[in-house]
Amino acid sequence: MSSSPDPKTYYIETWGCQMNDLDTQRLSGQLTLRGFRRASSEHDADLILLNTCSVREKSEQKMFSELGRLRAAKERGARIGVCGCVAQQEGEAILARAPYVDFVMGPGNVGYLDDVLEGRARVAVEFPDDRRYDWIAIDRPSAVRAQVTIIEGCNKNCTFCIVPTTRGREVSRPMRDILAEVAHAISTGRVEIELLGQTVNAYVCPESSADFSDLLSGVARVAGVARLRFMTSHPSEVTPRMVAAMRANANICRYIHLPVQSGSSSVLRRMKRLYNREKFLSIVAMMREEIPTIRFSTDVIVGFPGESDEDFEQTLSLLEEVRFGSIYAFKYSERPGTASLRLGAPVDDELSTARLNRLFELQARIERETLLAYEGCVVPVLYEGPSRHDPSVASGKSEDNWTVNFHCQDVPAVGTLVDVHVIGAKHHSLFGKAVS
Q: Which residues bind ligand SF4 (CB under 6 A)?
A: 154, 156, 158, 161, 163-164, 198-199, 234
Distance CA 436, CA 434 (A): 6
Smallest distance from ligand SF4 to CB 400, Å? 22
64 versus 330: smaller Cβ distance to ligand SF4? 330
193 versus 202: smaller Cβ distance to ligand SF4? 202
Q: Where are the beta strands (DSSP E) in 241-303?
A: 255-257, 295-302
30 versus 264: smaller Cβ distance to ligand SF4? 264
Distance CA 202, CA 155 (A): 9
Smallest distance from ligand SF4 to CB 386, Å? 36
78 versus 151: smaller Cβ distance to ligand SF4? 151
Smallest distance from ligand SF4 to CB 21, Å? 16
163 versus 382: smaller Cβ distance to ligand SF4? 163
Smallest distance from ligand SF4 to CB 164, Å? 5
Smallest distance from ligand SF4 to CB 170, Å? 9
Distance CA 310, CA 304 (A): 13
Distance CA 205, CA 291 (A): 26
Strand pairing category for 403-407 and 394-398: antiparallel
- Contacts (Cβ under 8 Å, ≥6 apart) of 3: none
9 versus 198: smaller Cβ distance to ligand SF4? 198
Which stretch of DSSP H or E encloses residue 420? strand 417-425
Smallest distance from ligand SF4 to CB 161, Å? 3
Distance CA 304, CA 346 (A): 6
Which stretch of DSSP H or E encloses residue 215? helix 212-220
- 406 φ/ψ angles, rounded to the nearest 5 degrees: -150, 155
227 versus 234: smaller Cβ distance to ligand SF4? 234
29 versus 259: smaller Cβ distance to ligand SF4? 259
The four Cα atoms 287, 288, 291, 292 give a dihedral, to 10 degrees, of 180
CA atoms within 13 A on the CB side of 286: 15
Distance CA 222, CA 393 (A): 32
Give the angle subtended at the CA of 155 by the CAs of 154 and 157, to the nearest 5°. 100
94 versus 163: smaller Cβ distance to ligand SF4? 163
Smallest distance from ligand SF4 to CB 56, Å? 12
Total Cβ atoms within 10 A of residue 74 = 17
Smallest distance from ligand SF4 to CB 307, Å? 17
Long-range contacts of 283-286 (CB under 8 A, 24+ apart): 283/235, 283/238, 283/258, 284/258, 284/322, 286/238, 286/240, 286/243
Smallest distance from ligand SF4 to CB 156, Å? 4
